Structure 1
């Protein structure tokens, strides 16, 4: 084996070890655990909390995923159209919300959603929301969680999409301008098609992250005691394991989520010909 191949294996080796220990290993163990009880999948889906959690996550995904994808693309296109100094400043500003994550992020959102504490109190009052209970109603949680997830994740994706847009050949853009293309025509017919694989990559990761929503409802419940401890499917899996002691059902639920994410990712990858290159055509 040449020195170049050794160096390649040396670079990828730590990743393969971590993937095996924290990725493939847990999946295999979850499969073994779920098969320890032949009815584990039935127990997971027949639980009275499963359908409400599935409905919550479905509504969340229907709101969060389009807002994330469309919002990121619009912001990236907007940033690219600015002067370099303004563009750099905007990218920094967009990254700041993502720096406040986890429990600190939930506490920050909790304060912002309390009319008595929030700097946005006039806006909340204008919407008829006078108290924290008015804001943190169970029917509003889908919107709140979608906003929290978007604020946490959009900045990094704007930076990635901005970098992808910078790779669009300048001569192609100049030709479009000479042909009289408007800003929207250039964006929809030239820029976005040329970065479609980056968009597919973002959709895959945003979909998998949204389907496994856990931090936002779990921490907000701990802070505000609003909603249900089984609001999301991942929360329900936690309850199966540590409240009911049913690790087989918890493993089954996790594997079902993994299966949905895998099927969706494979569909998008093959539909978009993700790994096809110009050389391979």
Structure 2
């Protein structure tokens, strides 16, 4: 009990109470007057709302697919090379970007994405990008945010998946080899199924984090002098409602919607994947 007491207090103070406070604001107006779903309707009718929903949906699709495919794939390759010093070096290199704070990572990428100063300017120009404005054009943002998010957050998950692969019983792997399974067959029919719960856990946290997209578009908007838009994501729109339009109740309504969507998605992933089923 003593071990979880501190965590429980922090969870209540910085998780449960702020959530309850946001729900209260979402259903009231100034002065505490109950207004039902009025705040939700007001924000949904905002001309920027559906665009922000679409932006976040495209970003989530790219982010989750890349997270599952590349993280699991790279973890399998590293596990295959586990006896080589190359594996240890790569695990370290993958993890290093995760040590940077989100804002610092975006600043690094602002430097990389500017063809005039980028160390990969030749590649950007070969792709037809001569100016920073062309790189951060609205149609490119979802892919850019996916690359930034993967560069920052994938390394930690690769280490987690690598550890999970090390926990697969050796007799199971030996049985697969005795049956004549090659590397691909072993990965597809043995290792990936045994990583199922870890993959689901990664997808749940990846979805929750991706739905709260804010730092990347906000800093990119400032750096591009508004070319990227300050209302690209729902969290940016929440920020705008609260601090530009002085509508805290509307901001709370969007926050509650994001909470409901994230919790519903997590429940769906858990239910459909048999996350709590005994192996």
Q: Distance in 1 between matches of 2:175 and 2:88?
A: 26
* Aligned residue-pair number: 270
In the other structure, the counterpart of 1:188 is 188
Q: Check whether the contact 1:107–1:223 (CA below 8 A) recurs between aligned residues.
A: no
Q: Distance in 2 between matches of 1:230 and 1:168?
A: 45
Q: Which of 31, 38, 53 is matched with 2:23 structurally?
A: 31
Aligned-residue offset at 1:270: 2.1
Q: Distance in 2 between matches of 1:58 and 1:227?
A: 17
Consecutive unaligned residues in structure 2, runs of 5 or more: 30-34
2:145 equivalent to 1:145: yes
The range that moved more, 80-89 or 183-192, is 80-89
Q: Normalising by structure 2, report the TM-score.
A: 0.94
Q: Distance in 2 between matches of 1:212 and 1:25?
A: 19
In the other structure, the counterpart of 1:50 is 49
Q: Check whether the contact 1:113–1:135 (CA below 8 A) recurs between aligned residues.
A: yes
- How big is each residue's C-alpha offset from its partner over 1:116-169, in whole Å with a ceiling of 9 and x where there is no partner? 111111111111111112212111111111110111100000000000000011
2:269 equivalent to 1:277: no
Where in structure 1 do 4 or more consecutive aligned residues deviate above 3 Å? none
Q: Distance in 1 between matches of 2:126 and 2:152?
A: 26
Q: Distance in 2 between matches of 1:268 and 1:143?
A: 24
In the other structure, the counterpart of 2:32 is none
CA RMSD for the aligned pairs? 1.1
Q: Distance in 1 between matches of 2:255 and 2:145?
A: 21
**Aligned residue runs from structure 1 range 8-87, under 5 A:** 9-37=1-29, 38=35, 39-82=38-81, 83-87=83-87
2:254 equivalent to 1:253: yes
Q: Distance in 2 between matches of 1:270 and 1:57?
A: 24
Consecutive unaligned residues in structure 1, runs of 5 or more: 1-8
Aligned-residue offset at 1:84: 4.6
Q: Check whether the contact 1:111–1:118 (CA below 8 A) recurs between aligned residues.
A: yes
2:127 equivalent to 1:130: no
Q: Normalising by structure 1, report the TM-score.
A: 0.93
2:109 equivalent to 1:117: no
Q: Check whether the contact 1:204–1:265 (CA below 8 A) recurs between aligned residues.
A: yes
Q: Check whether the contact 2:238–2:254 (CA below 8 A) recurs between aligned residues.
A: yes
Q: Distance in 2 between matches of 1:21 and 1:270?
A: 29
